[in-house]
Structures are given as C-alpha cells and as structure tokens.
Structure 1
Amino acid sequence: MLRNVCVCVLCVLTFGSVLQAQTREEKVRRDREKVEASGYWIYNDLERGFQQARETKRPMLVVLRCIPCEECVKLDEELMEKDPQLKPLMDQFVRVRQISTNGLDLSLFQYDYDQSFAVFLLNTDRTIYGRFGTRSHHTLWSEDVSIEGLAKAMQGALELHAKYDSVKDSLAAKQGPRPDVPSPEKYPLLEGRYRSQINEKKEVVKSCIHCHQVGDAQRDFYLRQGKPLPERILFQYPHPKILGLILDPTEKATVKEVKPASIAAKSGFQPGDELLVLAGQPLLSIADIQWILHRAESQDKLTAQIKRNGKTQQLTLSLPSGWKRADDLSWRVSSWPMRRMVLGGAILEETTPEERTAAGLPAEAPMALRIRGLGKYGLHATARRRGFQEGDIITDFDGQTNLARETDLLAYGVNAHQPGETVNVTVLRGGKQLKLSLPRQE
C-alpha cells in the first residue's frame, strides 16, 4: 500500500491557552531529547552538519520543518527513522534536522516558505543537488509528496554526488540570487522581535521564526517601502499543475496526466514522459520543477530533456504572459495577512453556477465571491465592523467585476491601493445590491 508523506499543517502560534502553549513547549523539549539521545540526527545545527560532511565527504540531507505538532511527530517516527525504504538511503547522508529559521542562510535556503516540510540535498560546498517538498492545498498533500518520491530524490542526489565534478556546472542555477537580507531576523518585520537563535532554555516556541513568517517578511519588505509586490513574490513557487502538467508524486518528475489544451499539452508533453532536465537543471522532484518555475518569467521558453518510451528527446515549455496568475494563493498561510490588508479579514469562496442563479445572478457571472467567514478580532474584524456579513456575494471590488477567485481579488487589491485608501465594494444580500467600503490596511 502506497504510503504518503504526512505533511503537517503549519504550526502557527494560536495563543489558544497557556496549557496549550506549555504542551507545545513540552513537545519540543521531548522531541529534542529523543533526537539527541538517538544520535542519528544533528539537531538544529547546520554548521556542525557541514563540518561533518566535509570530514566524511558525504552529501547532506537537511530537513526543515515546523516545531512539532502531532502530525510532525508522526512524520518523524514513520518517515525519518523507521521507514525501511528510506533508512538505507539516509545512512549515506549527513542528516540535519532544522526546526526553526532563526539565523537561516537565505542565500542558500530559498524555498517555498508556506511549506511546513522541506528537504535540501546538498554537497559539502553548499551546492544544491535538489529540493523536496511540495504542497498545493490546505490538507490534500498526497498528490504532491510520497515516501517513494523522497526515496527516489535521495537516490538521485547520491548519483549526482558520485559524479559531482562532471555535473557541478549544471547545478549552479539551483542556488538563488542574493536575498534582501542575509537571514530572516534581519527583515524589518522581524528585526528586534527575534534573534538569530531560538531560546532553548525557555519560550522555545515564542522565540522561533516559523517558515511562513519569512514569506510574510518578504512581502512586508516591499510593501513598507510603498512598492507593489513583484509577481515573483506574489505568486511564489508555481505548481506545475497550473501548466496542465500533473506529475506522479511517487516518482522524481514523471508526467501522470496532461490537461487538454493546456500550456503543457501545447508544448508537447505526454503522460509517461520522464522529465530529466529542465532549463539545464537535473530534476530530483516536483519541488525542483517549482524552483525553476519560480525563477522563470512571462514568455520564457524552457528547454526540457525528457525520456519517452526509452528514448531521450527535447521539448520546449513555452510560458505565456501572466501564466503565474493561474496559481492559487488561498491555501497558503500567507493569504491570511493579505486578507487582513485587502478584505478586512473576510474569507471568500467561489460560487457555483447553480448558486449564482439562485441568488439572482447570471449562471456565468464573471465575479460572484461569497463571504464564508469574517474575522472577529483586531484588523481582521474590519469587514465585520464595516457591515459585511457571511453569505454576502461580492460582485464588484473597486470597479473590478471580473475577479473570479479570491486569489484574483487578493492579487489585485494588495497592489492597487496604499494603506489608508478606501475601496468601494458591491455585495448581493437577499437579492438586493448593497454598496459598502473597505480600507486598504497595513
């Protein structure tokens, strides 16, 4: 039976109760005690990992994950130590488990910070063999990652390591450009609130910079300067499925399905194609493809080397203008602060043709976003205070009547106005149109 990686929900602090906080602190401490007692993993010490890798000439396996919740504990127990498929492969790596991003080298560890589980496969000189860890939904992770897929990524990294001198040049582009700041706590949003290391003696949870906070800080870096969010920041790490390319999570990068009339279909991809190289980079996982797509621009043409029916051939993946905007932001933890800024804390969902008709709208109305939730506290309660109600259907936002998804509205709203400006909104409630307004918030 196929066993998939259990990708835990991001462990965002919820301040529910003192008891819950204490329980989480206890979990962290027990986790560290267990890991250090086993001696199998280097715990939260990357430099020690690099030193050991230099001494042993082995590649590195770095796992970045959130401070443990129940799902993370399950992941560690079932995946990281006990799985018979992975254990022989892991034995060939220097293994580092990183539980926070405090002090993390952002020139090296560039990845989708909305992930709660990410793996880097590295050479001792910090060259990246590959990344692993993909997510495109709140909870449906089985279509993106699996134990089998991770095992094949690790095997691929070992093969690259064995012939490193001949492949090193092809790996150079796996490392990104110079970051805005060297490490997360240097971002203005986080500076002064966090240090370069977590407080291991007390308040471990409160002193930890979570992965999603790095993404939040990246966006804040632009917005606090009054700059619009670049598309590469707004639509980070596009999933290949927005190209119509559905990949098999049990393989490294094998096409499972190609959506008709999609970008992938027009580029010539077929089910069963094994992607070997894209844009000159050898592929170990879906995450490797996402990295390349993250760095790609509109109208780029990416050369793909594939294996089809045992033969190698080349295809060209042609990316049209605005292709990244087909991706979905709504599942991401980072959509939460954007909802505060743009929607006053409202959460939206798309309506079906039947629901639009029942509400008195055309079945194919280009914009009919229903409010399914409203925040209750602080700036997340602004929409509620302004008179919006759950069940309201937004048909016009700032004069825009074609924002079909919550993602489209957030992407428009975050760049269209500066904090303090007012946006007019039309909603349908009980068959009647109402004119309301929202402030663009910090």
Structure 2
Amino acid sequence: MDGFVCVRVVQMHGADLELFQFQRQLTWAAVFLNADGTIYGRYGSRSERRGMKDNDKDISLEGFKKALEGALELHKGFPANKAALAGKRGPAPLAKTVEKLPAAPPEEAKPARAGDHGCIHCHQVQDWEALSVWKSGKPVPDKLLWPYPMPDALGLTLDIRERATVSSVAEGSPAARAGFQAGDRIVALDGQPVISIADVQWVLHQAPEPFTLKCEVDRGGRKVSVELALSEGWRRKGNFASSLSLGWTLRMQLAGMKCDALSPDEKKRLGLGEDALAFRIGEITPEYVKRRNNSARKLGLKKGDVITEVDGRTSSMTETELLAYLAQQKKPGEKLSLTYLRGGESRQVELDLP
C-alpha cells in the first residue's frame, strides 16, 4: 500500500459518476487511478446477494494484493501504455452525479451537510439509474439490469486468490469452445490489461452483443490468443432478483410484491404442468416502504396466492424474468393482467403500474 495515496469514499453524495463506474451491488470496491484520472483497474466482485457469513466468496486479500501489484506495474509503464488503458473509462453516465438522476428521491439525494448521517449507498445509484430510464418511458437496457456479469455466465470460473486466473472451465460452455484452460491467466481483454476479476467484469459489461472478444492469456509462460464469442442476450442468465438491492427495488416499486417461482413438484400438486407459469406471492410490499407500488395491496392480493398468468403469458418464468418484463416491456401507468389461484379458485385482476 506504500505505493498508493489511499482515499476512502464512504458515500456517493457528489461522486463523479463518469469517473467512478464500477459494479454497484457491492459491499465495497476499489478503483486504481493515476493522478490524471487514468484508470489502471478495479477490484471488488459479487455474483449475487450473500449473507454476512459468505459475502467474501468472490474476493480475497490475496487477490486484492495481486491487483495492487498489477496496478503498480501498469503505473511503471505509464504513460507509454495510456492508449491501452483508455477503454477502462466508460461512456457518459445518465447524470454527472447521483443527485441529478431523475429518479433520485429528493429527500435522499439532497446535498450532504456536516453532521448529517444520511448516506447514498453505491447500490442506490444503479437502482435510480434503472428507474430513471423506466420512468422516462424507455425500456431499461440489459446493461442496467444485468450489469458487470461474472465470467461464470460464460463457463469461466476465476480464482479469487489470483489476478484473473482460470480455475475451471465448464464443459460445453462458450469459454470451453473458445479454448480456455484451467491455469490460464488472462492478461488482456479487448486490448485492455487485466489485473482482477473486476477488470474482466468491466470488459464484459461494456461489450456489445453479439461480439467476439479477443483475449490474451498467459499459459505456462507462453502467450496464447483466444477468441470468446458473446451471443445475443448471453448476460440474461444472471439472476438480478437476488442482487443486493436492484431486485428488491424493482419488486417493491414496480411489481408491489415478491414472487417465488414454484418447483415442478409444487406445480404438480396444483394440477399445473411442469412448464406452466406459477409464482407464489411471498410478500406484498410493506406499508413502511415509502416508494412502493400499492396496487397489489389495494387489489386484495395476498401472501400465498399463486399467479398462473401474466399478460396472457402462461409459460414458466423466473422472478428475474418477470421483473425484466416489467422494466423492459411495460411503461409507467400501464396495467398488468394477472390470473391467480386462491383456495383452488382462479381469479383475475389488473395491476396498475406506477
């Protein structure tokens, strides 16, 4: 750490969203910067919401130390390597600061003052970005719903104790078809030097679809080039409903309820086919949630009701797919047609979207 000037940012009030672009659904993150704003890399990964006992599953002190070492190596090569680092700065954000996001609640986004205990959390930035797009009447893009995908979605598991080293490759996966092997250390992706799993996520996050990602790996001291094919919609394999807050925000503010997909056995007991749509309502948005869709409560929907049809759709879907449908195919003020079972009786309602 002696080679760094360490700056700790504990909340997002006034933070430059153009400079500080990273996976928001995290407990903490590190951005390695040159004094002129050039980014050497990032550290901090989280594949899904985790409890206190396992929230370090995707990070380690060993991996952080090696990312620090990698950043110092890149610093020694600066400015000769500046062109290769340009891609580590992302496109212009929706707003320069979080306070200027249209969906940022005024009471929470007000400027911080000395002595205030209020805090804008990192995860709230992503939540408000997604809501800002939706409230404008536009579909929320995949990049906001499934941001910074873990390489596991492509069959590539990386060792959290190393920079970006492959520990295993899933058989039949895009990574396997590309020719990745256990032990490969990813040196560069799309021309960008890589020093952490978070750096891999950054490149995957920014990549268009479909796309062929050019990769440079170190395989036992030998440089090997690999091409990784990204198909249209590949990142949709992720489960944002279980993320730190995005899933919670969308279910509370758009759906107004939490829905749990039924297992095949549960469907069978209800006389439903294995591929039938079936959600059990696990919770109606509590009244203490200030910004909520109260329509489900007003319609009389209850915990335990089983939804079997959504806007005429009867095929199986996950809660993530349901929330994505609301965020990408429905607009503010529209209605959502629902058919549900209660006590063996089928009922129909129309849910109002906010």
**Match for residue 356 of structure 1 among 267, 278, 295:** 267
Partner of 1:425: 338
Tell me, yes or no, if structure 1 residue 383 matches structure 2 residue 311: no
Looking at structure 2, the residues matched to 257 and 400 of structure 1 have their Cα atoms a distance apart, in angstroms, of: 38
Partner of 2:328: 415
Structure 1 residue 123: Cα displacement: 0.8
Partner of 2:188: 277
Deviations 1:79-123 (A, max 9, x none): xxxxxxxxxxx1221011101111111111111222221110111
Q: Is the 8 A contact 1:146 1:249 kept in 2?
A: yes
Q: Is the 8 A contact 1:372 1:390 kept in 2?
A: yes
Within-5 A mapping of 1:279-358: 279-332=190-243, 333-344=245-256, 346-358=257-269
Partner of 2:81: 167
Q: Is the 8 A contact 1:102 1:194 kept in 2?
A: no
CA separation of 1:180 and 1:105: change in aligned 2, threshold 3 A: same
CA separation of 1:177 and 1:366: change in aligned 2, threshold 3 A: same
Partner of 1:185: 99
Looking at structure 2, the residues matched to 148 and 236 of structure 1 have their Cα atoms a distance apart, in angstroms, of: 25
Count of residue correspondences = 347
Deviations 1:190-234 (A, max 9, x none): 385467852222xx222x222122112212332232222122222
Tell me, yes or no, if structure 1 residue 136 matches structure 2 residue 50: no
Q: Is the 8 A contact 2:41 2:88 kept in 1?
A: yes
Tell me, yes or no, if structure 1 residue 369 matches structure 2 residue 279: yes
Deviations 1:17-45 (A, max 9, x none): xxxxxxxxxxxxxxxxxxxxxxxxxxxxx
TM-score, normalised on structure 2?
Answer: 0.91
Name segments (4+ residues, structure 1) moved above 6 Å.
none
Structure 1 residue 347: Cα displacement: 1.2
Looking at structure 2, the residues matched to 426 and 256 of structure 1 have their Cα atoms a distance apart, in angstroms, of: 46
Structure 1 residue 400: Cα displacement: 2.1
Q: Is the 8 A contact 1:370 1:392 kept in 2?
A: yes
Q: Report the identity percentage.
A: 39
Q: Is the 8 A contact 1:244 1:264 kept in 2?
A: yes
Looking at structure 2, the residues matched to 254 and 315 of structure 1 have their Cα atoms a distance apart, in angstroms, of: 14
Structure 1 residue 320: Cα displacement: 0.7
CA separation of 1:194 and 1:407: change in aligned 2, threshold 3 A: closer
Structure 1: gaps spanning 5 or more residues: 1-89
TM-score, normalised on structure 1?
Answer: 0.74
- What do you get for the CA RMSD once the two structures are aligned? 2.0
Higher helix share: 1
Partner of 2:351: 438
Within-5 A mapping of 1:62-81: none
Amino acid in the other structure paired with 2:347: L
Structure 1 residue 417: Cα displacement: 2.1
Deviations 1:138-166 (A, max 9, x none): 21433311111111111111111112233
Equivalent position SS for 2:131: helix
Looking at structure 2, the residues matched to 95 and 117 of structure 1 have their Cα atoms a distance apart, in angstroms, of: 14
Higher relative contact order, structure no. (Cα contacts within 8 Å, ≥ 6 residues apart): 2
CA separation of 1:246 and 1:380: change in aligned 2, threshold 3 A: same
